[in-house]
Structure 1
């Protein structure tokens, strides 16, 4: 499978959103979409929903294998429910997303946070909604940087590469 060689005007990005705590997770998408037009002009972003964080790596792999996407971003909020299950889920999700990138050659980015002291109180939930906007914007910048590096490597423009 051949990966496309993105430029600033033709990148195609998949954005996966877990539906648990969607009111918070969707803020990452908002932050991402606010920055993409400025950072990667002309980029197309396709959004996909999954039930929870655990389902993200498999969809990321399927999307990466299509050859249609230059990058995949996945966002989730994995909350500490007091039984330590969140640690296992978060670890499996991040490892799974990392493995997708390594196996397919398509960069995969995680906006998956695991707060240990999350509460549904407005002051805490509001903090995380705002934080996810920031993390989504940071993900857009990371995608821009990696796609630019990929384009440089593909063109052989990296004379300083060791």
Structure 2
């Protein structure tokens, strides 16, 4: 009997997405930055390959994964407020999506579980509260 279970996302056909009108927020952690940096670079490269202009990619950092939800919420909310303002001088267009990147590595205490749960639930809450898609890019690793 063949196993038809497939894990992962199928690649998109070439040229099917055009992100030229998108404004994307990336919030990343500084904790475990040697790994986060590679994820950040891959994210930026992928966005650019999908025609998202570099000027439409806003990058902010926070100390760790626990801070990702509050930072994402504040940045998304402030941009929404600026774009809905009656003031024509408002320069910020609302974000179309946020990508939150971090790396949690399990240690010998329960800290990993608390932070992983808080970041996961918090980022989901940000998406639900703002109505803006929040992409969960936090790796939860059992080993380095």
Shorter-chain TM-score tier: 0.7 to 0.9
TM score, norm. by length of structure 2: 0.73
| Structure with more relative contact order (C-alpha pairs < 8 Å, separation 6 or more) | 1
- Counterpart in the other structure of 1:10: 21
| Largest Rg, 1 or 2 | 2
**Hey, what's the Cα distance between the residues in 1 that align with 2:42 and 2:52?**
15
4+ aligned runs moved over 4 Å, structure 1: none
Shift of residue 96 of structure 1?
0.3
**Hey, what's the Cα distance between the residues in 2 that align with 1:95 and 1:40?**
31
Gaps of 5+ in 1: 1-6, 119-162
> Secondary structure of the residue that 1:106 maps to in structure 2?
coil
The RMSD of aligned alpha carbons is 1.4
Q: Which of 68, 73, 79 is the matching residue for 1:56? A: 68
Tell me which protein shows more helix as a share of its residues: 1
**In the alignment, is the contact (CA less than 8 A) between 2:19 and 2:47 conserved in 1?**
no
Aligned residue pairs total 112
Q: Which of 63, 70, 75 is the matching residue for 2:101? A: 75
TM score, norm. by length of structure 1: 0.65
Q: Verify: 1:109 aligned to 2:135, yes or no.
A: yes
Q: Verify: 1:26 aligned to 2:37, yes or no.
A: yes
- Counterpart in the other structure of 2:11: none
**Hey, what's the Cα distance between the residues in 1 that align with 2:52 and 2:104?**
32
